[in-house]
Amino acid sequence: MPSAALVAGLVSATAYALPMGSQGTWMIMGDFTRDGQEIAANHAVTRQDAFGGALGRWEEEPHSGAPHSHALRRDFAAITYTRQLHRWNLPHAQANLWLVGMAGAVRPRERSGDEAMGSLALLADYETTRVYAAGGLKGMRAEGNIRHDTAYARAGFSFYEVEYEETQPWLILEAKRERYGNATKDSVMPMLRFINRRYFLELGGNRDGAMLNLMLVY
């Protein structure tokens, strides 16, 4: 039977989709859906801390009674900070608790001028070499009464175990709730995940459209 240390190493190599890499590495991330796109990068300066930046945009449905009949578009640029609050190395699994902060500016396309914005997210994950579960809460606020809150939960499994250098396929189901001001949107999305030692790819879709998530570690 493999030792706890070996199992923890295999979990880290094959199952994880974390918001930062190991100390000294760069992580580049892309998140693309019908309602928004984001490109981000960070550098892990310690085992628990990473600093970086993000650029992106999102669209949201107009609030009830709002003068705009079309989707509202927001562009943003920000600096980011990621902190691993705790890691549990279990006999046959690993669990993590993360804090991710972002501060920058957002520009509504319906008017000129930048507005200060900030967000804070608390993320948790649990994984073995075959089972994965995660959840998170994120709140974003900006001037101009801009508000965007997200809560999600994920669960899935791997089809089979792989060797350290091989790519592992996963099937994941995500349930998510987003709130833009007073408007709420719920969604459920199945996705295929492919994880390698240096990259992470997710492909999913539902009636609202398709999604692509990508991570590269250097």
DSSP the chain: ---HHHHHHHHHHHT---SS-STT-EEEEEEEETTEEEEEEEEESSSSEEEEEEEEEEEEPPPTT-S--S-EEEEEEEEEEEEEEEEEEETTEEEEEEEEEEEEEEEETTSSS-EEEEEEEEEEEEE-SSEEEEEEEEEEEETTTEEEEEEEEEEEEESS---TTS-EEEEEEEEEEEEETTEEEEEEEEEEEEE-SSEEEEEEEETTEEEEEEEEE-
| Model confidence at 64: pLDDT above 60 | no
- The pLDDT value recorded for residue 77 is 96
With cut-offs at 50, 70 and 90, classify the pLDDT of residue 65: very low
- In this prediction, residue 107 carries a pLDDT of 84
CB-based contacts of 130, cutoff 8 Å, min separation 6: 157, 158, 161
Rounded-to-integer distance, Cα 169 and Cα 132, Å: 12
Which tens digits make up the pLDDT trace of 74-133? Answer: 899 999 999 999 999 998 899 999 999 999 999 876 666 788 999 999 999 999 989 999
Among 159, 153, 189, residue whose Cα is nearest residue 171: 159
Residue range 6-62, pLDDT digits in tens: 334 434 444 456 899 899 999 999 999 988 899 999 999 999 999 999 999 988 765
Chain center to CA of 147: 18
Residues 121, 155: Cα–Cα separation, whole Å: 19
Q: Apex CA 86: angle with CA 90 and CA 83, to 5°?
A: 140
Please name the residues in contact with 64: beta carbons below 8 A apart, sequence gap of 6 or more. 182, 183
Structure confidence at residue 71 (pLDDT) = 62
Decide which of 198 and 215 is more confident: 215
Q: Look up residue 28 and give its two tokens.
A: 């580049």
Superfamily of segment(s) 4-217: monomeric porin ompg (2.40.160.40)
Are residues 158 and 15 in contact, defined by beta-carbon separation less than 8 angstroms? yes
Residue 137's pLDDT is: 98
| pLDDT reported for residue 4 | 41
